[in-house]
Amino acid sequence: PPPPPPPGGRGPPPARAGEGVELPVGAGVTVAGVGEWGGGKTTPARALLGLVTPTAGTVAFDGSPLDHHARALKAYRKRVQLVLQDPSGSLNPRHTVYDAVAEGLRIHGSPDDERELVARALSRAGLRPPERFFLRYPHELSGGQRQRVVIAGALVLDPELIVADEPVASLDASVRGEILALLLRLRDELGLSALVVTHDLGLAWNIADRVAVMYLGRIVETGPVEDVLTNPQHPYTQAMLSVLPESVGEPVVLTGEPPDPSRIPSGCRFHARCQVLASGEADRAGVADRCRTEDLPVLAGGTAARVACHWAAAVRPA
């Protein structure tokens, strides 16, 4: 259910982010949450990390609901680690690389083999020989090296799940491929699960096993990455794919901006910008009124490709 209105009815209505999202991440699986800026894709990631408490629903890890008490969260965060998009902002400029990577170990108990664990994490992240980087500061590193340090800081605790928020967005194109290759290698070698939040469908194609396309706090299309990105069903997914450099045909330019998340429109949340509705195709399929007035069900998790779209259901029935 939506959150309650503000006390006394004063002030703007509360925004609803990540409303009705079911987003399972299996063991050893990489899931990409994709959408444009402000589409609500970061909120489920923050909830998974325990940084926000859902107003409804639950976050479960390893079959158990997430406990938001401080002691339980500390133990949980040893198993679930975050990689942020801006390595310069993630690293304390006054801390050496060694201290930055060792910070998690010290929070969770300062083991006797700290130096060995830091060296192993740096080596796994591709900074070799690791001892060469111990006493360096962030300003002495390249952007790609800083991101590797951030990844090493996440790996040092041997987590089971990585949440990566736009992990290559701030990097030059020349080093993005290196970091993507690193993340794929870590997934294969360590069996890590990952939730990657991105606006880049190209990144999702290269790194993810499954993809969830989000618009205005809802998943509008989900499934295996090959199924969704080679045969998109939702007009929003089709529009996003049409502007990739390798796409065939004319790009779809969406009009306007995503609606205010505190004022969710009736019907399909995408209908005000939908190229299928604007072109008359939805009307010819007999679903235009439903697009404007009838809400769509929440997509259930699972392995099959699914789409939340009246038009797609009408022209491509299951």
CATH of the domain at 160: 3.40.50.300
Query: Which domain does 261 fall in, by range?
Result: 225-315
Residues 174, 305 share a domain:
no
Q: Which residues, in sequence order, are bridge partners of residue 306?
A: 222
Residues 139, 51 share a domain:
yes
Pinpoint the alpha helices (H) of the chain.
42-48, 70-77, 87-90, 97-107, 114-124, 143-155, 173-190, 201-207, 225-230, 235-242, 275-279, 281-284, 288-293, 310-315
How sure is the predictor about 14, in pLDDT bands with cuts at 50, 70 and 90?
Answer: low
* 220-261 per-position pLDDT tens digit: 999 999 999 999 999 999 999 998 888 888 899 888 888 887
Q: Give the Cα separation of 91 and 99 in Å (integer).
A: 10
* 173-195 per-position pLDDT tens digit: 888 889 999 999 998 999 999 99
- H or E element: which one contains 224? strand 218-224
Total number of domains in the chain: 2
> What is the residue whose two structure tokens read 């360096």?
136
Residues 79, 192 share a domain:
yes
Residues 181, 250 share a domain:
no
* 108-149 per-position pLDDT tens digit: 988 899 999 999 999 999 999 999 999 999 999 999 999 999
Residue 75, C-beta contacts closer than 8 angstroms, at least 6 positions apart: none
The answer to whether residue 154 sits within a structural domain is yes
Residues 257, 145 share a domain:
no
273 to 54, 205, 256, 279, 297: CA distances (angstroms): 28, 25, 7, 11, 20
- pTM score: 0.87
